[in-house]
Amino acid sequence: MQNEKPNFEDVREALNIMQALTTASESHGLLCALFSFGAEVKFTAWSDSLMTKSLEEGDLVAISALQTMKKLYDYTKAQFDEKGLSFDLFIPADDEELCYRAEGLANWIKGFLSGVGLFGLDFEKTDKKDVKEAINDLMQISYMDHSELGDDEDSEADFLELLEYTRVAVLLIDSEKV
């Protein structure tokens, strides 16, 4: 499959190899915002923006890391090209600890909101109440104290509700383009 979703840990490791100053979730959130607002993001521009140093020519480990990031880029671009009602938030897998997944969600939202900000969205001045509320809610979710979460059923249910709300809020923002 050409646009297969990459493994979260593979992307995390690729970013580590690239010495990126961002997380897998945050970099994906930013990319989603850019695609949502119609930016013509080139892979090399996005991947270069993540790196803190240039990669050595012929470095097979670095080449592999870039291939992993290209896989994430292609997967994400395909989701936005399809303009469907669903897309994946790139966060740790369901079998990971809840606090790790919640941290991933918070980072994803921070990346998305950073991308929204790059487009000059002034949500304080928008007359679209639903969009303003969605952005405020996303900001609050991104501030959650994920280290305090337990692994009980109630916490899991609350997290899944936040995850679904985030998807819906992003789709609302995408559809309204304030």
- CA dist 146 and 104 (Å) reads 9
User: Which residue carries 């979460």 as its tokens?
Assistant: 149
Secondary structure (DSSP) of 15-55: HHHTT-SS-HHHHHHHHHHHHHTT----HHHHHHHH-SSPP
Of the candidates 116, 122, 138, the residue with the CA atom closest to the CA atom of residue 39? 116
25, 111 in Cβ contact below 8 A? yes
Regarding whether 103 and 66 lie in a shared domain, the answer is no
Of the candidates 74, 70, 107, 65, the residue with the CA atom closest to the CA atom of residue 90? 107
In a domain, 131, yes or no: yes
Question: pTM value?
Answer: 0.90
- CA dist 168 and 7 (Å) reads 24
- CA dist 114 and 37 (Å) reads 12
- The CATH number that applies at residue 160 is 1.20.120.740
Regarding whether 76 and 146 lie in a shared domain, the answer is no
In a domain, 91, yes or no: no
What is the domain range of residue 60? 8-82
In this prediction, residue 51 carries a pLDDT of 85
Average pLDDT, the chain: 88
Confidence of residue 54 (pLDDT cuts 50, 70, 90): confident
Percent of the chain scoring above 90 in pLDDT: 59
In this prediction, residue 119 carries a pLDDT of 81
> Last residue of a domain, which of 22, 57, 82?
82
Percent of the chain scoring above 70 in pLDDT: 93
**Can you tell me whether residue 88 is helix, strand or coil?**
coil
What angle do helix axes 24-36 and 153-176 make, rounded to 10 degrees?
30
Number of domains, the chain: 2
